[in-house]
């Protein structure tokens, strides 16, 4: 039996996770472990030596889910440590409300939940919809359909160690197709809002270098779903020889 754990960072009651769960039930037994609250942009936070409350909740369709009072990565770490029967066949994280492309992957709780699964030795897929205003399950159905196709291939073929697939889908039905991509460059336009001693990071949605064909930002901007393999090895291999030539002495 194919066993799938589904998580996200928008919260266990978000419409994106319900759309994903509904679609994935066609190919396996699905267990939902999601954060109790929205954990967007939480990054790869792992809670150590602190209490993490866990409770059982019902999703909008009446199915059961586990609600974790921590980060998306916490939910996967707890599962791997014995909270549930482990390992699953695959972990799928999403569907995120808003894209996770380029440098977004370092901030994304959606992506880092998948990376936590990879650390724990399980193949994983992160899924995001490039629409920050999507609030209904129906708006995520095309992304869910594509997520099932990608997940099915991961189940059949497997993934290399420490590797995940990062899937981004434009708000378009049907999409033009699926493109294999590399990480592009996001352009952030953050602004600082100050009220007394309260500081907030605000600003418009990030842009990107949309003209660079072959990147995730190019693909989504042009109506294609984008799938990018990500690896936990962050070594800047191309810079390695240059760094060696610095001949740093201590």
Cα distance between residue 22 and residue 170, in whole Å: 20
Pull the structure tokens for residue 99: 């894209």
User: What band does 137 get if pLDDT is binned at 50, 70 and 90?
Assistant: very high
What per-residue string of b and e applies to 111-124 under the rule 16 or more CB within 10 Å gives b? bbbbbbbbbbebbb
Going along the chain from its start, the domains and CATH numbers come out as 3-245 (3.40.1210.10)
For position 222, what pLDDT does the model report?
A: 97
The pTM is what?
Answer: 0.96
Q: How far apart are CA 205 and CA 190, in angstroms?
A: 9
pLDDT of residue 247: 94
For residue 8, CA distances in Å to 19, 74, 95, 219, 236 come to: 12, 11, 7, 23, 29
Query: What average pLDDT does the segment 101-109 reach?
Result: 97
The tens digit of pLDDT for each residue in 188-237 reads 999 999 999 999 999 998 998 999 999 999 999 999 999 999 999 999 99
Exposure class string for 76-104: b at 16+ Cβ within 10 A, else e: bbbbbeebbebbbbbbbbbbbbbbbbbbb
Measuring CA to CA, how many Å separate 183 from each of 165, 213, 232?
12, 11, 14
d(CA 190, CA 200): 10
pLDDT of residue 34: 98
Copy the structure tokens of residue 65: 């889910």
- Integer Cα distance of 185 and 60 in angstroms: 37
* pLDDT attached to residue 35: 98
Phi, psi of 182, rounded to the nearest 5 degrees: -110, 170
How big is the CA angle at 9 (ends 7 and 12), to the nearest 5 degrees? Answer: 60
Query: Facing residues of 96 across strands?
Result: 128
| Contact indicator for 33, 79 with CB cutoff of 8 Å | yes
pLDDT per residue as tens digits for the range 39-76: 999 999 999 999 999 999 999 999 999 999 999 999 99
């Amino acid at each position: 039996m194919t066993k799938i754990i589904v998580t996200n960072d928008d919260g266990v009651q978000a419409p994106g996770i319900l759309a994903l769960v509904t679609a994935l039930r066609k190919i396996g037994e699905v267990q939902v472990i999601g954060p109790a609250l929205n954990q967007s942009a939480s990054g790869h936070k792992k809670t150590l030596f602190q209490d993490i409350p866990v409770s059982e909740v019902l999703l909008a369709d009446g199915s059961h889910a586990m609600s974790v009072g921590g980060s998306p990565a916490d939910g996967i770490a707890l599962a791997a440590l014995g909270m549930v029967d482990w390992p699953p066949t695959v972990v799928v994280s999403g569907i995120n409300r808003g894209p996770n492309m380029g440098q977004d992957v370092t901030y994304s709780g959606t992506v880092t939940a998948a990376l936590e699964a990879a650390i724990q030795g399980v193949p994983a897929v992160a899924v995001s919809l490039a629409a920050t205003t999507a609030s209904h399950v129906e708006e995520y159905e095309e992304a869910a359909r594509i997520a099932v196709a990608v997940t099915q291939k991961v189940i059949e073929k497997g993934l290399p160690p420490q590797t995940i697939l990062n899937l981004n889908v434009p708000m378009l039905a049907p999409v033009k197709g699926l493109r294999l991509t590399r990480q592009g460059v996001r352009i952030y336009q953050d602004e600082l809002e100050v009220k007394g001693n309260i500081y907030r990071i605000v600003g418009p949605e990030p842009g990107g270098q949309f003209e660079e064909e072959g990147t995730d930002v190019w693909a989504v901007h042009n109506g294609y779903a984008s799938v990018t393999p990500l690896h936990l090895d962050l070594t800047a291999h191309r810079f390695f020889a240059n760094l060696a030539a610095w001949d740093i002495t201590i």
